[in-house]
Structure 1
Amino acid sequence: MAAVVAGALVLSVAPASVAAAEGRACRPDANELLVTFQPVDHTVGDHRYFRGEITVHNRDRGCELGRDWALYFSSVRQPLAVYPPELGDPARAELAAQGLTLTRADKAQSGDYFVLKPTASFQPIRPGQQRKIGLNLEFWAIHKSDAPAGWHISYGGATPRWVPGKTLLDPDDPKQTTAFDGDVRPVETAASRFKENTAQRADLALADRILPRPLSATAGQGTLTLEARGLTVESAPDLRNEASYLESALDDVLGGDRGDAASAGAGSPEAAGGSRTRIKLATSAGLDVDGDGKADPEGYRLAVGDKGVEITGADRAGVLYGIQTLRQLIPVEAYAAAARGREPDRIKIPRATIADAPLFGYRGMAIDVGRHFETPRTVKKFLDLMSYLKLNRLHLHLTDDEGWRVEIPGLPELTTFGARRGHDLAEKSMLHQAMGSGNDLRPGDGIAGKPRDERQANLGRIPAYQGYEDAMVNLVGKGSGHYSRREFVDLLAYARQRHIQVVPEFDFPAHARAAVQAMERRYQRLKDSDPAEANRYRLLDPEDTTRHVSVQYYTDNIVNPCISSTYAFLTKVVTEVKRMYDQAGAPLTTVNLGGDEAPHPTWTESPACDRNPETAGKTDQQLMDLFFAEWNKIAQTVAPTTAGWEDVLKSEGREITLPNFIALPWQNVWGWGREDWAYRFANKGTKVVLAHATNLYMDLAYNKDPDEPGYYWAAYVDEESTFTYQPFNVYANATENRWGGPVTPSPAWERLTEEGKKNILGMEAQLWAENGKAPEIREYQAFPKLLGVAERAWNRRTPTPEQMPAAWKVFVNTLGQVTFPLLSFYQPVGLDGVGVNYRIPLPGGEIRSGTLTANVRNPGLTIEYSTDGRTWRTYTAPVQVGDRAFLRTKAPDGRTSRVAPVKSG
Structure 2
Amino acid sequence: MQIRTAGFSARTRRALVLAAVLLLAAVGFGVQRAIGGEDAGSAGAVAVPAGPRTADRIVPVPLSVAAGSGPGYRLTGRTAVRTVPGAEAVERQAGEVRRIAEQLAEALRRPTGLPLPVAADADPAGADGISLLLDPALPEATGTEGYRLTADATGVRITARAPEGLFRGTQTLRQLLPPQIESPRPVGGAPEWTVAPVTVEDRPRYGYRGAMLDVTRHFFTPDEVKGFIDRLALYKLNHLHLHLSDDQGWRIEIPARPALTKVGAVSEVDGTPGGFYTAADYQEIVRYAQERYLTVVPEIDLPGHSNAILASYPELDCTKSARPWPYTGIEVGFSTLCPTGDEVFAFTQDVVTELARLTPGPYLHLGGDEVKKMAPAEYAEFVKRVNAQVLAAGKTPVGWNQTAPGGGGVLQFWDGRAGRDVELKEAAERGAKVIMSPSGRSYLDMKYESGYPLGLVWAGTIDVWTAYSWDPDTLVPLPAGSVLGVEAPLWTETLDTPEELDVMLLPRLPALAELGWSSRESHSWERFRTRLAEEGARWEAAGYRYEKRDEVPWPAR
Q: Give me the TM-score of the superposition, normalised by structure 2.
A: 0.85
The answer for the alignment partner of 1:812 in structure 2 is: 529
Q: Say yes or no: does 1:647 pair with 2:355.
A: no
* Residue of structure 2 equivalent to 1:728: 473
Match of 2:121 among 266, 287, 308: 266
**Aligned partners of 2:333 and 2:181: how far apart in 1?**
55
C-alpha distance after superposition, 1:360-381 (max 9, x if no partner): 0011111111111111112111
1:507 corresponds in structure 2 to 301
Residue matched to 1:773? 496
| Residues 1:232 and 2:81 aligned together | yes
Q: CA deviation at 1:8?
A: 4.7
Deviation, 1:437, is 3.4
Rate the CA distance shift 1:820–1:675 in 2: closer, same or farther, 3 A: farther
| Corresponding residue SS for 1:636 | helix
Distance in 2 between the 1:553 and 1:498 partners? 35
* 2:339 pairs with 1:561: yes
Matching residue of 1:836: 544
Deviation at 1:400, TM superposition (A): 0.6
Report the Cα offset of residue 232 of structure 1. Answer: 3.1
Q: Which residue of 1 aligns with 2:415?
A: 667
2:528 is matched by which residue type in structure 1? Answer: F
Q: How many Å apart are 1:302 and its aligned residue?
A: 0.3
Candidates 404, 420, 438, aligned match of 1:692: 438
- Give 1 or 2 for the bigger CA radius of gyration: 1
Q: Does 1:296 align with 2:143?
A: yes
> Which residue of 55, 58, 65 corresponds with 1:210?
58
Q: Is the 8 A contact 1:254 1:345 kept in 2?
A: no
- Residue 129 of structure 2 aligns to a residue whose secondary structure is strand
Q: Is the 8 A contact 1:780 1:839 kept in 2?
A: yes
- The residue number in structure 2 matching 1:282 is 133
Shift of residue 284, structure 1, vs aligned partner: 2.7
**More helix by percentage:** 2
Aligned in 2, Cα 1:197/1:339: closer, same or farther, shift over 3 Å? Answer: farther
Which residue matches 1:711? 456
d(CA) in 2 for partners of 1:491 and 1:436? Answer: 26
Partner of residue 389, structure 1? 235
Residue 322 of structure 1, CA deviation: 0.5
> How big is the shift at 1:626?
1.5
Indicate yes or no: 2:155 matched with 1:308: yes
Corresponding residue to 2:272 among 438, 442, 448: 438
Residue among 31, 37, 46 paired with 1:201? 46
User: Secondary structure of the equivalent of 1:227?
Assistant: coil
Cα distance in 1 for residues equivalent to 2:515 and 2:180: 28
Report the residue type matching 1:406 in the other structure: I
Task: Give the superposition deviation at 1:398.
Answer: 0.6
Hey, what does 1:247 align to over in structure 2?
105
Runs of 5+ consecutive residues of structure 2 not aligned to the other structure = 18-29, 86-93
Q: Which residue number corresponds to residue 21 of structure 2?
A: none
Q: Which of 634, 638, 642 is the equivalent residue of 2:393?
A: 638
1:255, 1:345 within 8 Å by CA — same for their partners in 2?
no
Cross-structure match for 1:38: none
The answer as to whether partners of 1:256 and 1:345 remain within 8 angstroms in 2 is no
Q: Name the residue aligned to 1:455.
A: none
Question: In structure 1, how many angstroms separate the alpha carbons of the residues matched to 2:503 and 2:276?
Answer: 23
| 1:651-693 deviations in Å (ceiling 9; x for gaps) | xxxx3343xx101111125xx5535654454344321111111
Q: Could you tell me which residue of structure 1 aligns to residue 115 of structure 2?
A: 257
SS of equivalent residue, structure 1 residue 825: helix
> Greater relative contact order: 1 or 2 (C-alpha under 8 angstroms, separation 6 or more)?
2
- Equivalences for residues 300-699 of structure 1 within 5 A: 300-335=147-182, 339=185, 341-342=187-188, 344=190, 347-421=193-267, 435-439=269-273, 480-520=274-314, 538-541=315-318, 544=319, 553=331, 557-581=335-359, 587-600=360-373, 602=374, 620-649=375-404, 655-658=405-408, 661-668=409-416, 672-674=418-420, 678-699=424-445
More displaced, 345-354 or 779-788? 345-354
Aligned-pair distance for 1:395? 0.9
User: What CA deviation, in whole Å up to 9, does each residue of 1:679-713 have, x standing for no partner?
Assistant: 454344321111111101110001122x3411111
- The alignment yields a C-alpha RMSD, in angstroms, of 3.4
- Residue pair 1:570, 1:631 contacting (<8 A) in 2 also: yes
User: 1:394 and 1:265 mapped to 2: Cα distance?
Assistant: 32
Q: CA deviation at 1:646?
A: 0.9
Superposed CA deviations along residues 591-633 of structure 1, whole A, max 9, x for unmatched, are 0011000123x4xxxxxxxxxxxxxxxxx22211111111001
The percentage of aligned residue pairs carrying the same residue is 29
Instruction: For residue 411 of structure 1, report the CA deviation from its aligned partner.
Output: 2.5
CA–CA separation in structure 2 for the residues paired with 1:861 and 1:673: 45
Structure 1 runs, 4 residues or longer, greater than 4 Å off: 8-11, 188-191, 193-196, 202-205, 333-336, 338-341, 343-346, 544-556, 675-680
Q: CA deviation at 1:256?
A: 3.4
* Counterpart amino acid of residue 249 in structure 2: G
Superposition deviation, residue 812 in structure 1: 1.6
Distance in 1 (alpha carbons) for counterparts of 2:449 and 2:208: 28
- Is 1:861 aligned with 2:555? yes
- In the alignment, residue 369 of structure 1 is paired with which amino acid? V
CA 1:860–1:340: 2 relative to 1, 3 Å? farther
TM-score, normalisation: structure 1: 0.54
Corresponding residue number in structure 2 for 1:873: none
Distance between the aligned counterparts of 1:558 and 1:596, measured in 2?
A: 11
C-alpha change, 1:251 and 1:677, in structure 2 (3 Å) is farther
Question: Quick one: distance in 2 between partners of 1:10 and 1:488?
Answer: 37
Instruction: Measure how far apart 1:191 and its partner are.
Output: 7.8
Q: CA deviation at 1:227?
A: 1.4
Check conservation: 1:784, 1:839, Cα contact below 8 A. yes
Counterpart CA distance in 2 for 1:591 and 1:859 is 40
Q: 1:282 to 1:343 in 2, by over 3 A?
A: farther
C-alpha distance in structure 1 between counterparts of 2:13 and 2:208, whole Å: 46
SS in 2 for 1:234: strand
Do the aligned partners of residues 210 and 679 (structure 1) sit closer, same or farther apart at CA in structure 2, a change above 3 Å counting? Answer: farther
In structure 2, the CA distance between the partners of 1:597 and 1:860, relative to structure 1 (3 Å rule), is closer
8 A contact 1:360–1:794 mirrored in 2? yes
- Residues of 2 paired with 1:695 and 1:516: CA distance? 33
The offset of 1:759, in angstroms, is 1.4
Residues 308, 597 of structure 1: CA spacing in aligned structure 2 closer, same or farther, 3 A cutoff?
same
| CA distance, structure 2, for counterparts of residue 836 and residue 627 of structure 1 | 43
Task: Check 1:269–1:839 CA distance in 2 against 1; reply closer, same or farther (3 A cut).
Answer: closer
Cα gap change, 1:417/1:548 in structure 2, threshold over 3 Å: closer, same or farther?
A: closer
Letter in 1 for 2:467: T
Amino acid at match of 2:237: L
Q: How far off is 1:207 after superposition? A: 3.8
Residues 123-138 of structure 1: pairs in structure 2 closer than 5 A = none
Work out the CA distance in 1 between the residues paired with 2:115 and 2:129.
16
**CA deviation after TM superposition for structure 1 residue 545, in Å:** 5.5
Structural mapping, 1:116-127, within 5 Å: none
Match of 1:223? 72
Secondary structure, in 3 states, of the residue corresponding to 2:520?
coil
- What is the distance in 2 between the residues matched to 1:663 and 1:721? 23
Counterparts in 2 of 1:84-163, with a 5 A limit? none
Contact persistence 1:202–1:813 (CA under 8 A):
no
Contact kept, 8 Å, 1:300 with 1:357, in 2: the verdict is yes
What is the aligned residue count?
525
The amino acid across from 1:823 in the alignment is W
Give the structure 2 partner of residue 425 of structure 1. Answer: none
